[in-house]
Structure 1
Amino acid sequence: MKKLILVRHAKSDWPEETEDFDRPLADKGLAEAMHMSRFMKNNNVAIDYFVSSPAVRALNTCKIFNQAYHLTITTNEKLYNPSESNFESVIYDLDDNVSSVLSFPITTVFPILRILFPKIFSTFPPVVLPVLKSTVIPGRNLKEQKRNCFSFMIRGRFNFISKIFYFLAFIFLFSCQKKEKNYFEAIASNDVKLSDPEPHEWRYNRNEKFQTFEGFQKSKKIHPEIGKNTIYLQPIGEFNILQKKQVELAGNYFKIYFQLETKILPALPNTIFPKDIRRIKDENEQILAGYVLDSILIKRKPKDALVLMGITEKDLFPRSDWNYIFGLASYKIGVGVTSMYRFSNGNVTKANFNRSLERLLKVGSHEIGHMFGISHCLNANCVMNGSNHLSETDYHFARACSLCQQKLNSSLHYDNKKRLNELKNFFEKHHLNSEVTRAEEDLKLIK
């Protein structure tokens, strides 16, 4: 006998010019899914197997639940706008060894459940019954089982009390959502408004458009996938002991900031740069950044890499009419490069270690943030603000504003509070005191 738990996808959005299949989860839906997955896990609801509709809103709900359970996810196209026969075949195609299944069909499966469980649905409308738990007996026709469904409940094969428990728990959680601010709304009060730009600052002579959350959702961007969900760092150059330590700490930080596995590859030598992509500027050797992306990093990107970020101790320039750049990224294919050179004028010491480290963390997370589809931030003081020079970089926070955090979370689906606590611990350990304070202020708002 199998236990079948059906979960309706969390609240979704429907941006303009978006097909039904591609509809994303709304901000409220992300919060609801995280709440319910933790609730089920904490209440020892055992699951052996996840099967989901491939529709974006259903699959993303499934992925959020899987953050609590860490199981293999299978998609089945039959669960997108399924007929009764399709729904039935999905159940009976399951492996005999699987005893407990969590299924994420698309919404239109609920009319089928109205047929299967008429007495339940006459009492509770499907719109407020997001979880339904039932047993399915292999070898018997589903249509035959539905006729005896209610008597199964009475005899105990369908746990009616458990069903009511899940139902009331959902209603309680969802009603609480209406009264309380979600994470992003709560921390928004800590966002620091941007002042009018000065002539030397990035925003002064650039007419960048404000990227709304809806605009972000419509944009093309990379997403973690099964077998392709790791950030790789590729050091290039001759690093001293302190620089090597900074690269190591950057790897630790990106793992926390993006909540993704992060690995550091063996360093490549500076001899990999040919003479024709080098130049001397103000008695300093610089490397053409585009060459690093197109001829070094793209060719070396590991198969399981979601992002490959090069880190070089050499100065970079993008084209002949520019003096330098801190970093450059190809957002469509997930490769980028960051230069450490100007963070310490090419000379990392114990005295400037923390300041140059903070600059590396800011620029690196900024460039990787671009790869996940986040444009330059015009919402508040934020790590995603554009920078013309180091004093502007220093002025910007390592903290992403509430809007940019919402964008990042909608793609990566991490636990916001866990991430925030881990960031605070990292900042404390490495004496980045201003960022410790910002993290503590955010934590106060969500407790």
Structure 2
Amino acid sequence: MQVIQHPAETLRTALVSSRCDLTDRYHKYSREERRLLEECLCLGDGSLFRPITVHSVSDWIHSHPEEPQDFQSFYSNPYPSKPIKGHSTIYLQIIGRWVHTLSVLYVRWLRDYCQAFYYWLVVKLLPPVTVAATGCAFRVNSSSHNLQIHAGERNQLTTPDAFGIMGITMIDLYPKDSWNFVFGKASLTEGN
């Protein structure tokens, strides 16, 4: 796996903003929050963030090689997904029942993070739904005996003002019948 690194100064220059509201917000952060942001800029140099490497043949990237993407190829994409008027909300949808009481707090943290990262969009939590309400096929895995949701289908969860809907679940996913499981699936072009 190739690890692409950019000098910290290049990243700082790329992320400097002239918007007063953003610089004012930065100055209101606590010392710990500023440390987190600064370590994000010094990739691999600090204690919080280190480059991901392949450790064994059981790692995902070893079994499922993917083309590397650096920032320049991402930025120069001629067909980026951009919000359009009337479709500027990201919805977070909890699917299935969550047993752990901290789960709701974690999802709220995720919402707050998404709201900060996608500051030009609105991020909202939808009420939790059952697996059946998604309209996706599901199965019980013959090996693990766990419920699994088919992640390759377009679900029935739509809202008219959505830029996108992210389903969050603690239930296993599978992309097609021949696969045992998958960690997740995302698409900016296949439905919501």
| TM-score band w.r.t. shorter chain | 0.5 to 0.7
- 1:290 equivalent to 2:145? Answer no
Matched-pair contact (CA < 8 Å) for 2:134–2:155: no
Query: In 2, distance between residues paired with 1:195 and 1:316?
Result: 25
Select which of 256, 274, 280 maps to 2:116.
256
> With structure 1 as the length reference, what TM-score do the two structures score?
0.31
Aligned to 2:127: 266
Matched-pair contact (CA < 8 Å) for 2:12–2:41: no
Correspondences of 1:7-406 after superposition (within 5 Å): 34-35=17-18, 37-38=19-20, 187-188=42-43, 190=45, 192-219=50-77, 220-240=79-99, 242=101, 243-259=103-119, 260-272=121-133, 277-281=137-141, 282-291=144-153, 294-297=154-157, 300=158, 302-333=159-190, 335=192
Bigger relative contact order, structure 1 or 2, given CA contacts below 8 A and separation 6+? Answer: 2
Equivalent AA in structure 1 for residue 148 of structure 2? Q
Structure 1 gaps, min length 5 = 1-26, 42-66, 69-182, 336-447
Q: Could you give the per-residue CA deviations for residues 10-65 of structure 1, whole angstroms, max 9, x where no partner exists? A: xxxxxxxxxxxxxxxxx898657x23x43xx8xxxxxxxxxxxxxxxxxxxxxxxx
User: Secondary structure at the residue paired with 1:319?
Assistant: coil
Q: Compute the displacement of 1:237 (Å).
A: 2.3
> With structure 2 as the length reference, what TM-score do the two structures score?
0.64
Equivalent AA in structure 1 for residue 163 of structure 2? L
Query: In 2, distance between residues paired with 1:28 and 1:334?
Result: 35
User: Secondary structure at the residue paired with 1:296?
Assistant: coil
Q: Compute the displacement of 1:271 (Å).
A: 3.2
Gap change, CA 1:205 and 1:313, over 3 Å in 2: closer
Comparing both structures, which one devotes a greater share of its residues to helix?
1
Query: In 2, distance between residues paired with 1:185 and 1:255?
Result: 18
Matched-pair contact (CA < 8 Å) for 2:94–2:168: yes
Query: In 2, distance between residues paired with 1:277 and 1:196?
Result: 33
Query: In 2, distance between residues paired with 1:334 and 1:217?
Result: 23
Structure 1 ranges of 4+ moved more than 6 A: none
Compare CA radii of gyration and give the structure with the larger one. 1
Query: In 1, distance between residues paired with 2:99 and 2:85?
Result: 36
Equivalent AA in structure 1 for residue 189 of structure 2? K
User: Secondary structure at the residue paired with 1:331?
Assistant: coil
Equivalent AA in structure 2 for residue 283 of structure 1? H
Query: In 2, distance between residues paired with 1:307 and 1:273?
Result: 15
Q: Could you give the per-residue CA deviations for residues 87-144 of structure 1, whole angstroms, max 9, x where no partner exists? A: xxxxxxxxxxxxxxxxxxxxxxxxxxxxxxxxxxxxxxxxxxxxxxxxxxxxxxxxxx
User: Secondary structure at the residue paired with 2:140?
Assistant: strand
Q: Could you give the per-residue CA deviations for residues 281-336 of structure 1, whole angstroms, max 9, x where no partner exists? A: 12212121123xx1323xx1x3332221112343221111211122211222574x
Q: What fraction of aligned residue pairs are identical, expressed as a percent?
A: 27
